């Protein structure tokens, strides 16, 4: 976020809100509170709802492109296939103890960032 949030971008987006009331300041607060380390880049922002990506596209698009190796949300399509039979999970060895799978999702039915309001 820090490498893309210029004063001009902030000025253009600071007065906008999503239909559910999310502001740019709420989106970037995590990066402001936790700036991280110069050698360890983090995203530094969150999307509060589905519309965040559209309302604040001037900031979110370049951050997404940088974080996801050039993926352009405006011109590329992310395919989703939740068919577990198509997954390529490595087989567990005898020494395996556990498997960790992390998924992140926010949609209009379940705002995962309700605690930030």
Give bridge partners of residue 37 from the DSSP assignment. Answer: 40
- Asked if the model's pLDDT at residue 88 lies above 60, the reply is yes
Instruction: Render the burial of 54-88: b for 16+ CB within 10 Å, e for the rest.
Output: ebbebbbbbbbbeeeeeeeeeeeeeeeeeeeeeee
- Asked if the model's pLDDT at residue 63 lies above 90, the reply is yes
Question: Cβ-count burial of 110 within 10 angstroms (0-12 exposed, 13-18 middle, 19+ buried)?
Answer: exposed
Mean pLDDT of the 87-109 span? 66
Q: Tokens for 20?
A: 């559910």
Share above pLDDT 70 across residues of the chain, in percent, rounded to a whole number: 80
Q: Tokens for 5?
A: 């949030």
Has this prediction a pTM greater than 0.75? no
Higher pLDDT among residues 2 and 9, named by residue: 9
Q: What is the CATH number of domain 7-74?
A: 1.10.135.10
Mean pLDDT of the chain: 83
- Asked if the model's pLDDT at residue 85 lies above 70, the reply is yes
């Amino acid at each position: 976020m820090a490498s893309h949030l210029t004063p001009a971008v902030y000025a253009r987006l600071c007065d906008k809100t999503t239909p559910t009331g999310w502001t740019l300041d709420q989106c970037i607060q995590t990066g402001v509170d936790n700036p991280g380390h110069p050698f360890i880049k983090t995203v530094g922002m969150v999307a509060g709802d589905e519309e965040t990506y559209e309302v604040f596209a001037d900031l979110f698009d370049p951050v997404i492109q940088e974080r996801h190796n050039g993926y352009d949300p405006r011109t590329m399509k992310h395919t989703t296939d939740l068919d577990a039979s198509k997954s390529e999970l490595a087989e567990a060895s005898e020494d395996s103890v556990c498997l960790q799978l992390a998924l992140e999702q926010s949609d209009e039915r379940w705002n995962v960032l309700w605690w930030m309001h």
